[in-house]
Amino acid sequence: MLNIIIFGAPGSGKGTQSLKLIEKYGLKHISTGDLLRSEIKAGTDLGRLAESYMSQGKLVPDDIVIGMIENLIKEHPDATGFIFDGFPRTLAQGKALYEVLEQNGQDLSVVLSLEVEDKELVERLLKRGEISGRSDDNRETIEARLQVYYDQTAPLKDYYQGKRKLEKIKGQGSIEDIFASIERVVDGLIE
């Protein structure tokens, strides 16, 4: 069982590298951002609530995202492993994930932390906004999201460092080179 957290600031390439990880290792992808966006698209109550936070670049409350993750893990007892993308984003979420994995007889394999400079993050997100039209990829919301990342999410790195699970990956360069660094870490876990 491989349970991988792909960690990093908004725009660090978590989604892109997740897709490559799934392709190679056959993991089940859990992206809280994608899950929340599909709730918004479906016009559910949860989607409406989530949108009110996301459009401002704020985090959706912990109990909502934790509940979503718990359900997904329980619904997939046969998964060969999970890749958590965009979750956990707070210390409370990190602790909840630890517990739910344990309750399901699993543990965390590794946290891959994609390290990218701020200047490049902002450039990538602005570009993504032009292409995908994602409503939170505009300059004002991007700045709010980066601030939220440094205040609430980045402290998780110390938490995982303390558990000896953190692996820093240089997140700048070609997609293939970044993935090669990821493969070296993940292959080392399998052998």
> Which residues does the annotation mark as catalytic?
14, 89, 128, 134, 145
Given a contact cutoff of 8 angstroms between Cβ atoms, the answer to whether 6 and 83 are in contact is yes
Of 34 and 183, the one with the shorter C-beta distance to ligand ADP is 34
Q: CB of 103: closest distance to ligand ADP in angstroms?
A: 19
Binding residues (CB under 6 A) for ligand ADP: these are 10-11, 14, 32-33, 36, 53-54, 57-60, 65, 86-87, 89, 93, 136, 145
**How are beta strands 110-115 and 2-8 bridged, if at all?**
parallel
DSSP-assigned states of every residue in 76-139: -TT-SEEEEES---SHHHHHHHHHHHHHTT----EEEEEE--HHHHHHHHHHHHHHH--TT-SH
Report yes or no: 34 and 87 within 8 Å, Cβ to Cβ: no
The CB-of-170 to ligand ADP minimum distance in angstroms stands at 18
Q: Using the minimum distance from each CB to ligand ADP, give the nearer residue, 38 or 189.
A: 38
In whole angstroms, the minimum distance from the beta carbon of 87 to ligand ADP comes to: 4
